[in-house]
Homo-oligomer: A and B are copies of this chain.
Amino acid sequence: MKLGFIGLGIMGAPMAGHLLAGGHEVFAFSRSGVPAAVVAQGAQACASPAEVAQKADIIFTMVPDTPHVADVLFGANGVAQGISTGKTVVDMSSISPIATKEFAAKINALSCDYLDAPVSGGEVGAKAASLTIMVGGSEATFNKVQPLFALMGKNITLIGDNGSGQTCKVANQIVVALNIEAVGEALLFAAKAGADPAKVRQALMGGLATSRILELHGERMIKRTFNPGFRIELHQKDLNLALEGAKAMGLSLPNTASTQQLMSSCVAHGGAGWDHSGLVRALEIAANFQISPTPANPSAV
């Protein structure tokens, strides 16, 4: 198929690579230029999102935030200026569910289809083609794009109408952030009370408290490996989407709000670029106590 890919950063580049490896033509655009490695795999670099939309039938976008999606779709030389009847836009960025519904309506008004399809799994999942993909849109469009999703991910779910994919991603990020915070509070309590946090983590893994976060991020907290991973500043963006959405919908999300504040405290201490497991640092700084000593290796905070 003739595919387009806009946004070839640390996520987009390997994802486009999987589409190329799947035997598809890929017309590519990236604000900072199409990476040589992706061109070497066969991607054809375009001068603008509009050119991508002219040449491809299904156009993927993978850019940092809501304004970037607005810009590549509807800005100068954007997708909307090159697209024509029957084509499909698939936004795999993690952005506002509310804005997504507007974007989908505008694309639909051009007689084109739209899917929101944000992912989780990070750079590792993008490279391994093991991303979780959460999709919003019509079932017919989902079925059409599904074989392409399958080249990039493993756990692929149609959640509902446009916006539902982004909503699901926000829900995912709420759970991940709050589970990290929970493990931080628990290990801090245990360590300060004199228990070995590694043994506590091990004991908790056997029961109701077990989670992927306890396993992965709990270990990072104990071993002090706060190099990303997933950066706190990116998770802040996601919690902002949650809190903005909650305000718009009249919801109170108390622990999402307080966890966002803890992330701000991390940023105040230079931690915007820490892995999100470094959230525990905010709790530690408040308590003037560390779960475990900082090792003498340069990757630790």
**B255 and A207 contacting across the interface, CB-CB below 8 Å:** no
Contacts of A195 in B (CB 8 A): 136, 159-160, 163-164, 167-168, 171
**B206 and A155 contacting across the interface, CB-CB below 8 Å:** yes
A231 to chain B, nearest CB (A): 14
- Flag the segment in A40-48, A79-87, A286-294 that touches B: A286-294
- Measured between alpha carbons, how far is A202 from B96 in the docked complex, in Å? 21
For chain A, the count of residues having a C-beta within 8 Å of the partner chain is 75
A154 to chain B, nearest CB (A): 7
Contact (A252, B178) CB under 8 Å given A160-B195, A195-B167, A203-B159: no
A283 to chain B, nearest CB (A): 7
Contacts of A251 in B (CB 8 A): 188-189, 192, 283, 286-287, 289
A120 to chain B, nearest CB (A): 5
A167 to chain B, nearest CB (A): 4
The yes or no answer to A193 lying at the interface (CB within 8 A) is yes
Partner of A172, one of B161, B192, B209, B246: B209
Contacts of A213 in B (CB 8 A): 208-209, 211
Q: Top 7 closest A-B pairs, CB basis?
A: A155-B206, A211-B211, A178-B182, A175-B209, A171-B186, A157-B203, A132-B207
